Chains A and B, each alone.
Chain A
Amino acid sequence: MFKHLFKLIWNKKKQNFLLITEMFVSFLVLFAVFSMVVYFYQNYKKPAGFDYNDVWVATFSMPEHLQSNDSVNLFAEAMRNSLKSMPEIKELSFTSMNVPFSMSTNGTSVSSQQKPRVHTNIFEVEPTYKDVLSIHMVEGRWFQKGDHVAKLRPVVLNQKLKEELFGSEPALGKTLGEENYKTGQFEDRFKVIGVVQNLKETGDYQAIESGVYRGMDSGGLRWNNTILLKVQPGADAAFESRLFKTLSNMTGTSIEIEHLEKKRITKNKLALVPMIIMLIVGGFLIINVAMGLFGVLWYNINKRRGEIGLRRAIGASGSAVSKQLIGEAMVLSTMALIVGSFFAVQFPLLHVFDLPASVYVAAILLAIVFIYLLVFVCALYPGKQAAAIYPAVALHEE
């Protein structure tokens, strides 16, 4: 029967061309939508790598009268002591402005013996940063006081950067080069002292990016005017107001206090916008395709009443006629899917958008299943109608 259906469709290829094209385009749109959905889902399933609950971010500007590093450090120490004296604050860390879920980035290029150049995020942190965010060490250790006096500055890598730079080889004790932007040359500047679990700093749906954590040196506090505060659970608006006043009184500048949890939600919403747009566009297209498909199948049945009557006369039962029409629609969709899959397979083969191949494979499979389901559902009712055609009437009409 399959051969018969194929012959029937092949001999009507001109009439079926538009329908196949419609299914082909729908497949590609679905492939794009599912690629995004699968990619986001895969990212979402990965562990956060840190605890963002009850972590607040305070940004301030260093008072202008503080000229030397020493005066800046003294001011920061006073600020730290003042904040630590508040019972609601469990821990705090001065850090660069590219805190998790922020819109700021800070990048650099590093090199190892295996890899000449890897672009990565760089985070300026203090020893307490790890405890504020409850970061998990995978290898080695986190920073300690006094680390910054070493000749090669100690750095901690996240797992992604470690794999990019060293693959499966151990990273501890290895030297890293950093690009000198004036000369374009890589100079040995860092020594790896630890590796931490990947942190989803860009949101739940975004891919994990490589990152290197560098202990803040004596002049670092001049430029890094962001504080991460781990507060007691239940710290409320009244405390936030007191915190604001304390910081404002000390710095004499404008203060901004944000909650990491809220920043995460905002970041996630932003990430979902393109997917939601694609889902809406894809949804409309699918409704269009479904209606078109339904209409074409319905029209075909009315056009083929004589043929249906004949088939019934020569031995096809109602269900056989229904199955044939659904089968024809499925063969048509198979043709469209073969062509569509050919194009879709090029994405993982050519590493388009640099997404993992598993994303594309899953998206292709999902799009195929969806198209088959859509075609099946659209063909079901016209198929039933065809089965109900009374052979004597249909043959007489012809």
Chain B
Amino acid sequence: MIQLKQIEKTYRTDTIETLALNGINLNIAKGEFLSIMGPSGCGKSTLLNIMGLLDAPSSGEVLIDGQQTTHLSDKALARFRNQKIGFIFQSFHLINDLKVLDNVELPLLYRNISAKERTELAKEALVKVGLSNRMKHFPAQLSGGQKQRVAIARAIVGKPELILADEPTGNLDSAMGNEIMELLLHLNEVDGATIVMVTHDETMAKKTHRLVRLFDGSQVNDHALKPMYA
């Protein structure tokens, strides 16, 4: 599904050069649930951004579904993200001025589909995350767990093959965090979505198929936790 070849990422200012990622090689199979762990500032989110085509590596190659993404135009990258990738963020990134249903519909706005179909798909996604009774609410009227469910519904509404989750349980208490994790596991096991999750939580990470550890921008550990189709 995803192939990262010799990924390097360097941040430069006038005076300082920081190596955020150093020679990362990673193959993620279709249907795999992979977690990435490491201390703060080790490059986890940078790696996730590169996988999600939100950031470009300083060197190396990113292939998604066998397609080279390095030289794609801004429009092509946007189309790629829209069709193939769903994002879940620690701080949810919901638009507070839009109702839940409208928030979930957002990715579909950038596809050529009718308003009716958009609404149907968004409702379907909200049913999947158990929020069918909160469609007309604004994000401010929801709990943290519910907000993250909305964010998950938004990530899956376009039926992407890949879901990238950046500390999805980071802002939630353990009960809500577990609920969200169960939801992600369900999406992976039942719907076959490939998921890459950055987390600080060892317990959550152990529920996934594979764990990759980073330290100072380098990949220090990569081991399978459980078989993919157990």
Contacts and interface: CB of A to CB of B under 8 A. Distances in A.
Interface in B94-147: 95, 97-99, 102, 105-107, 109-111, 115, 138
A64 B79 CA distance: 97
Nearest to A4: B109
Contacts of B95: 8, 307, 310
Contacts of B77: 317
B78 A320 contact: yes
| Of B75, B83, B89, most A-chain CB atoms within 10 Å | B89
Interface stretch (B48-56, B169-177, B188-196, B201-209): B48-56
B18 to A, nearest CB: 14
A311 B106 contact: yes
Contacts of A390: 55
A318 B46 CA distance: 21
A396 interface: yes
Contact of B54 (A11, A312, A317): A312
A391 interface: yes
Contact of A317 (B75, B98, B102, B105): B75
Nearest to B106: A314
A28 interface: no
Main secondary structure of the interface of A (DSSP, over half): helix
Contacts of A392: 46, 49, 54-55
B55 A315 contact: no
A310 B115 CA distance: 21
B186 interface: no
Nearest to A314: B107
A150 to B, nearest CB: 80
A65 interface: no
B74 A313 contact: no
A318 B107 CA distance: 15
B78 A395 contact: no
A297 to B, nearest CB: 16
Contacts of A8: 95, 97-98
A319 B158 CA distance: 21
B45 interface: yes
Interface residues of A, number: 27
Nearest to B78: A317
Given A313-B52, A313-B87, A315-B107, A396 B45 contact: yes
B93 A395 contact: yes
Given A391-B54, A398-B93, A315 B98 contact: no
Contact of B82 (A3, A12, A310, A314): A314
B78 A312 contact: yes
Given A3-B115, A314-B87, A319 B75 contact: yes
A7 interface: yes
Given A306-B93, A307-B95, A392-B55, A315 B87 contact: no
A7 B109 CA distance: 13
Contact of B154 (A314, A320, A395): A314
A362 interface: no
Contacts of A309: 93
Contacts of A312: 54, 78
Interface in A306-358: 306-307, 309-320
A309 B46 CA distance: 15
A306 B75 CA distance: 20
A306 B151 CA distance: 14
Contacts of A11: 97-99, 138
B25 interface: no
B75 A313 contact: no
B54 A314 contact: no
A316 B78 contact: yes
A320 B81 CA distance: 14
A1 interface: yes
17 contacts: A4-B105, A7-B102, A310-B106, A313-B54, A314-B106, A314-B110, A315-B83, A315-B107, A316-B78, A318-B74, A318-B78, A320-B78, A391-B54, A392-B49, A392-B54, A395-B54, A395-B89
Interface of A: 1, 3-4, 7-8, 11-12, 306-307, 309-320, 390-392, 395-396, 398
Interface pairs A-B: 5 shortest CB-CB: A315-B82, A317-B78, A315-B110, A392-B55, A314-B107
